Homo-oligomer: A and B are copies of this chain.
Amino acid sequence: MKKVSYVEDPEKWLEEFTFSVRTKVRFSETDMFGHMNNTVPFIYFEEARIEFLKSIDAFQKESDPSGTIPVAADLQCDYHKQIYFDDVLSVAVKIHYVGNTSYDLHYLVKNEEGAVCLTGRGRIVQIDAESGKPISIPREIKRAYEHQVSVAKG
C-alpha cells in the first residue's frame, strides 16, 4: 500500500476496519479508458457511510424533529490499484476522530483478491438544516467510537 497522509501505521490501520459492504462495479461506472471512472469511489464511500451509520443507529433518513442533517465538510480518495468493470469490491468504513460537531470517517476498498484498491477519508459535520449552523453530532457516533477504541485496545 502506497503511503497516504492520513494513515500513520498502515498495518494497524488496515486491521481496525470491522464494518464493510459489498459492491460490484457497474458497466455504466466505467469510462472510455476501460476502467472504473475516477468519480465513482465517492459513490461507494457514500453508500458504505450510510450503511455504517444505519448499523450504529446514527442515520436519520429525514431531518429529525430537531431538523439536523449530516453534510460532507471534505472528502479525499487515494487510488492504489486500477478497478475494472465487474470487479467485486469490499468497501469498509471506520470512525477515526470524533469532535463536538463533526467526525472523521476512513474508507478502505479491496478487491476479491484482497488487494487495496482505494483508501479515503472525509469529515462529516452535523448542521441545523435551516440555519446551516454546526450542532452536536448524534451521541450514537460517540458511543460507536468509544466501543471501537476499547475493542482496538483489546
Please pick, from B4, B27, B76, the residue contacting A75 in the complex, using a CB distance under 8 A. Answer: B76
Q: At the interface with chain B, which of A40-48, A105-113, A144-152? A: A40-48
Q: Residue A13 at the B interface, CB < 8 A?
A: no
- What B residues does A69 contact at CB under 8 A? 33
Cβ contact within 8 Å between B78 and A73: yes
- Once the chains bind, are A71 and B61 in contact (CB under 8 Å)? no
Q: What 1/0 flags go to A8-29 for Cβ under 8 Å of B? A: 0000000000000000001110
Kindly supply a per-residue 1/0 record for chain A positions 43-67, scoring 1 wherever the CB is within 8 Å of any chain B CB and 0 otherwise. 1001100100000000001010000
Which one of A79-87, A92-100, A135-143 is at the B interface?
A: A79-87
Copies of the polypeptide in the assembly: 4
Given A32-B32, A38-B72, A76-B75: A82 and B27 interface contact (C-beta under 8 Å): no
Contact status B82-A72, CB under 8 Å: no
Cross-chain contact B46 with A39 (CB below 8 angstroms): yes
- Beta-carbon nearest neighbor of A86 in chain B: B61
Query: Which B residues are CB-close (under 8 A) to A129?
Result: 33
Smallest CB-CB A-B distances: 8 pairs = A76-B76, A30-B32, A38-B72, A39-B42, A74-B78, A32-B34, A28-B37, A30-B31
